[in-house]
Amino acid sequence: MNAFQKQTALRIAAVSVVLATLASSIAWFVSRENAEEGIVLLATEESGRLLHHYDAIELTGPQAAAHAELAAKTIVGGLFDIAEIYDPSGRKLAESMSGDGQKIEALVPKHGSPNYRKASYDSLKLGGDQWALRVFVPLRDSATDLSLPITGYFEGVRLVPQWQSDQIMTSSLTAAGMAALAALLCGLAIFPVVVHLSKENERKTREVLDSHISMMEALGRAIAKRDSDTGAHNYRVSWIASGMGELMGLTGSAMQSLIAGSFLHDVGKIGIPDAILLKPGKLDEAEFATMRTHVSQGEEIVTGMGWLDGANAIVVGYGRFGQTVAQMLIASDIPVPLLDTAIEMIDVASNFGAKVYFGDGTRIDLLRQAGADEAELILFCIDKDQVSAELLHAVSEKFPDASVYVRGFDRRSVLRLHGSGAEYIIREVLESALKMARLALAKLGVSEQGIEQAVAVYRETDRERMTLQIDADDIRVAHEMMVTEPLASAEPRGEPG
């Protein structure tokens, strides 16, 4: 098992254990609740049958108390240990208790006169191992038609026997164990799938790498056909360059770029006329000038191959904000790999000919694949607050040569990401608000000088306020610095625009 497989196994095992713990807890709780509800439902239905049998549903007549007393005595000792029957006004008509009911009666919480519309129950721990269920049932002529008037109330307490409590516990633990086992088995089943997909991805990566090498060799052979010395020369330069790269500590994509670039450094000779390239004698000044163009011609040939291009900037997130940033960079002829998780954004970027990577740009491995090792700048333009201070610390550590710019939404974003390694955090709310304020002031007749002064003063005050909030790690600090009155240097307004 290699390092990746070990790491994958540990992560899947950890997730499986967490899921097993959560699933077993939920299964235990649901199983216990269902058992309780089953006991209550059975007891309620049976007591309702007895109440109807003894005519103790309609509790407003002169025989109500006698019927209630008889029904309560019958119910007690079977399904309930305490039975209480009330008339519609909440007055107790009858109460009966078994021997066990008399022992626990003082432990049962007291309550006022019944005045509820729906049946319910309470689960009561009465001390020690004693567990009781208390039901509250409004009485009607029909148990299903809740629109009928209430004719009385029945309340019963059932002391759950130890054997039934043990049975419920066993059933609940069994359900919890099965849920935990299912979660662990899912993790066990997922692991080989992940390993297979990883091997398949590695295989495809090697195929791509092999195709790149084959392309390099083909270009090398094409050069050798035109200049018999160039073929061997390309290999010698690559061998020397790779040795120097090892001494410099180059690894990974940096070493690959060095080898590829050194091997193809003379590819531009393909564009040099034979009369000049193969001339046996000394080149004149004009011919030598033409020969020198093989460098720029070589750059033109390999530009756009992707695997030979270095990324000057990487844009993470191709939403509305990221699109604007990326298009301005592309318009300035700056290579910009784009990373996004939204398929529709990938399609949009691809239509513009951009180099797009599908995936989570907050992952270090995907940033590296996009060329972060050679990038001068990494811009996080994600719509939501998905960028954490921990991520920025990791990016700064893994890619120390790249500056990191982050899109923040408001002051809270700046406070949260301060000190995280980001060189620049732009507050989207601030810049858009200042833009609107500029337009508003111009419309209301304030001169351009007055507008610039107002913006400069606000920026300076805001910067000082932000510094105090960062030092205190509290956004509520320096609230009194907010602008609430005209500046002393404010100039008179002109005519509105």
What is the Cα–Cα distance from 195 to 362, expressed in whole angstroms? 23
Q: How confident is the model at residue 494 (pLDDT cuts 50, 70, 90)?
A: low
Strands 152-159 and 131-139: antiparallel
Helix (H) or strand (E) holding 406: strand 403-408
Each residue's pLDDT tens digit, 246-290:
887 766 666 777 777 777 777 777 788 878 877 788 888 888 888
User: The CATH number of the domain where 329 resides is what?
Assistant: 3.40.50.720
Q: In whole angstroms, give the CA distance from residue 186 to residue 180.
A: 10
Q: Tell me the pLDDT band of 66, cut-offs 50, 70 and 90.
A: confident
Is 220 inside any structural domain? no
Task: Select from 117, 135, 169 the last residue of a domain.
Answer: 169
- Contact by Cβ (8 Å): 35, 172: yes
Nearest in space to 91 (alpha carbons), one of 114, 116, 109:
114
Residues in the chain: 497
Give the separation between CA 446 and CA 494, rounded to whole angstroms. Answer: 6
**Mean per-residue pLDDT over the chain, rounded:** 79
CB neighbourhood size of 312 (10 A): 18
Listed in sequence order, the residues at least 6 apart from 1 whose beta carbon sits closer than 8 Å to its beta carbon are 9
Q: How confident is the model at residue 497 (pLDDT cuts 50, 70, 90)?
A: low
Last-in-domain residue among 169, 197, 217: 169
Per-residue pLDDT averaged across 374-388, rounded? 81
pLDDT of residue 449: 87
Model pLDDT, residue 192: 84
Q: What is the pLDDT of residue 196?
A: 80
Poorest-pLDDT segment among 225-229, 330-334, 394-398, 461-465? 225-229
Angle between helices 162-226 and 3-53 (to 10 degrees): 150
- Alpha-carbon distances of 38 from 35, 45, 79, 108, 197, rounded to whole Å: 5, 11, 13, 21, 47
Predicted local confidence at residue 491, as pLDDT: 62
49-63, 163-177, 318-332, 345-359: range with lowest mean pLDDT:
345-359
More confident residue, 218 or 4: 218
Looking at the domain assignment, is residue 397 inside a domain?
yes
| Higher per-residue pLDDT: 118 or 54 | 118
Provide the residue range defining the domain that includes 395.
313-481
pLDDT at site 178 = 87
d(CA 492, CA 37): 77
Residue 191 has a pLDDT of 81
Domain finish residue from 127, 146, 169 = 169
Tens-digit pLDDT profile for residues 401-448: 888 898 887 778 787 888 788 888 888 778 888 889 888 988 888 888
* Residue 385 to residues 295, 368, 402, Cα–Cα distance (Å): 45, 22, 21
Q: What is the CATH number of the domain that holds 153?
A: 3.30.450.20
Structural domain contains residue 207: no
Helices (H) and strands (E) in the chain, counts: 16, 11
Is 90 inside a domain boundary? yes
- The answer to whether residue 291 is domain-embedded is no
DSSP string over 437-493: HHHHHHHTT--HHHHHHHHHHHHHHHHHHHHHHHHHT-TTTTGGGS--S--TTPPPP
pLDDT value of position 143: 63
For residues 418 and 201, give the distance between their C-alpha atoms in angstroms, rounded to a whole number.
37
pLDDT recorded at residue 336: 79
Average pLDDT for residues 58-74, to the nearest whole number?
80
Between CA 155 and CA 406 the distance in angstroms is 64
Domain membership of residue 303 (yes or no) is no
How confident is the model over 8-40, as pLDDT tens digits? 778 888 888 888 888 888 888 888 788 777 777
Q: For residue 101, what pLDDT is reported?
A: 86
Q: Is residue 264 part of a domain?
A: no
Rounded to whole angstroms, the Cα distance separating 353 from 338 reads 11
Q: Which of 166, 189, 168, 173 lies closest to 24, judged by CA?
A: 173
**DSSP 8-state symbol, 55:** T
Per-residue confidence band for 308, with pLDDT thresholds at 50, 70 and 90: low
User: CA-CA distance, 86 to 65, in Å (whole number)?
Assistant: 9
Whole-model pTM: value is: 0.42
If one counts the domains in the chain, the total is 2
DSSP secondary structure string for all residues of 122-161: EEEE-STT-EEEEEEEEE-S-SS-TTSPP-EEEEEEEE--
pLDDT at 235 over 60: yes
Q: What is the DSSP string of 76-113?
A: BTTTBSEEEEE-TTS-EEEEEE-HHHHHHGGGSPP--S
Is there a domain that residue 382 lies in?
A: yes
pLDDT tens readout for residues 142-188: 766 777 788 888 888 888 887 877 887 888 888 888 888 888 888 88
